[in-house]
Amino acid sequence: MANTELVSSDVTHVCISSSSDSPGGENSNVTLQRGGATSSVQKDPSDGVPFIRTYLQRQGLSHDTISIIMNSWRGGTQKQYKTYLLKYMEYCTRLGRDPLLPNIGTVLDFLKLLFDSGCGYSAINTARSALSAVLILPSGMPVGQHPLVKRFLRGIFNLRPSLPRYQHVWDVKIVLDYLESLGKNEELSLKTLTLKFSMLLALVSGQRSQSLQLLSLDNMSRVGSKVVFVLTSLVKQSRPGVHVQPIEIEAFENENLCVVKCLEAYVSRTEHIREGKQLLVSFNAPHRAVTRETISRWLRLTLAAAGIDTTIYSGHSTRAASTSAAHMQGAPMQCIMGAAGWASAGVFARFYCKPMHKEHSFGEAVLSSSNLANPL
């Protein structure tokens, strides 16, 4: 195995921090040197993974061709890959090795270093995917698909498994009861109305924060008792030939829980203060369009106010809670899949279908049987 003393101490933080750009600016070269080995990675403002760009340049590809290939990875993926690829580049350069020449031993040593620094299976698997984007073996196989690398990842999973964050999901009724208790939409402050509307929207649509952020007044239409939003931007589920269905929200008899009534109140309240056409805007001045991270934080705030333990459940848990509630109420699987944008029922079954959290345990139910009267 490689001498880990040669590795920068920064690698020990790779699982919890993102790599920052060099002080030289967006168009600077990052050059690391040890002995006779020099690695120069050209940074380009059009992408977040300069290491991959350098690899493509070595293939003799034109700038325009490289730019198109770089767009095959979306922003979130590039941000994740960048952290591990730059750390791998630093690691190889300190050992006097060319980071763009695939070497199974070097790759395994680097992944083992991540493991020693505290990274779990999920983080190390992301690092493997990042390395597979640039390290191709002579056989044409991505380095991450090599049998030894796959076996190594299996060992990582057994030693430090990546398990679901939670086995149960909160009861939607608890949150709905809280939202109903807030009273009439017209009497709420803009902040409370915003938080209420965001939560109702997340629950009745089954969408993640990314999709809620993309909702636009320009792509909103009224069809009878329902409101329809068409998403014109790519979302996580989008792929060639497949895009999410229009998001439909329907009126509900209880006006305090009716998302359409809440939408009308929200649009009316923000009509003269909003900047732009994005549906969800900040409740603080200036009232600009918000990010998906802000929407997720709003959802978490509302969960906390309703009494849900947000040390366990994140804003994204609304997706599992709403779809699981619909499933338990007998909604057809095709209806759930269409609303959430899933192409396969397996995605719902594997990641989102969760039983509601109950205060009473199985053991408690068994022991409480001692209180029952003995039959004659």
Residue by residue, DSSP assigns 89-108 as HHHHHHTT--TTS--HHHHH
Q: Evaluate whether 44 touches 50 at the Cβ level (below 8 Å).
A: yes
Burial of 301 from C-beta contacts in 10 A (0-12 / 13-18 / 19+): middle
Q: Which of 57-71, 180-194, 352-366 is predicted least confidently?
A: 352-366
Ramachandran angles phi, psi of 17, nearest 5°: -135, 155
- Kindly report, residue by residue over 96-122, the tens digit of the pLDDT: 998 888 899 999 999 999 999 999 998
What is the mean pLDDT of the segment spanning 261-265? 94
**Are the C-beta atoms of 131 and 85 separated by less than 8 Å?**
yes
- Minimum mean pLDDT range among 15-24, 91-100, 171-180: 15-24
Closest C-alpha to 168, from 369, 373, 375, 352: 352
* pLDDT at res. 330: 63
Q: What is the DSSP letter of 143?
A: G
Residues 94 and 34 sit within 8 Å (Cβ to Cβ): yes
Count of CB atoms situated within 10 Å of the CB of 104: 15
Separation of alpha carbons 168 and 361, rounded Å: 12
Average pLDDT over residues 77-92: 88
Separation of alpha carbons 99 and 91, rounded Å: 8
Alpha helices in 214-311, H assignment, sequence order: 259-270, 292-306
In the predicted model, is pLDDT for residue 153 greater than 50? yes
Cα–Cα distance for residue pair 181/6, rounded to 1 Å? 60
Q: Which amino acid is at 279?
A: L
pLDDT at 367: 44
Q: How confident is the model at residue 234 (pLDDT cuts 50, 70, 90)?
A: low
Distance CA 232, CA 163 (A): 34
Amino acid at 146: H
- Please count the CA atoms within 13 angstroms of the CA of 305 that sit on its side-chain side: 18
pLDDT at 114 (0 to 100):
94
SS3 for 325?
helix
pLDDT, residue 41, reads 45
Task: Indicate if the pLDDT at residue 331 is higher than 50.
Answer: yes
pLDDT at 328: 64
Which residue, among 244, 252, 274, has the nearest Cα to 203 in the 3D structure?
252
Which of 28-37, 79-88, 262-271, 327-336 has the highest average model confidence (pLDDT)?
Answer: 262-271
Residue 324 CA to residue 170 CA, distance in Å, equals: 10
**Type of residue numbered 125:** N
Cα separations (Å) of 90 from 30, 31, 42, 93, 102? 10, 10, 14, 5, 15
Lowest mean pLDDT among 250-264, 308-322, 359-373: 359-373
Band the pLDDT of 164: cuts 50, 70, 90: low
Rounded mean pLDDT, 217-226: 87
pLDDT in tens, 27-73: 333 333 333 344 444 444 444 477 788 888 888 899 889 888 888 87
pLDDT of residue 371: 52
Q: What is the mean pLDDT of residues 204-219?
A: 85
pTM for this entry: 0.62
List the domains of the chain with CATH numbers: 4-159 (1.10.150.130), 172-352 (1.10.443.10)
Strand partners, 31: 40
Residue whose C-alpha is closest to residue 247's, from 231, 260, 232: 231
| C-alpha closest to that of 200 among 127, 306, 117, 271 | 306
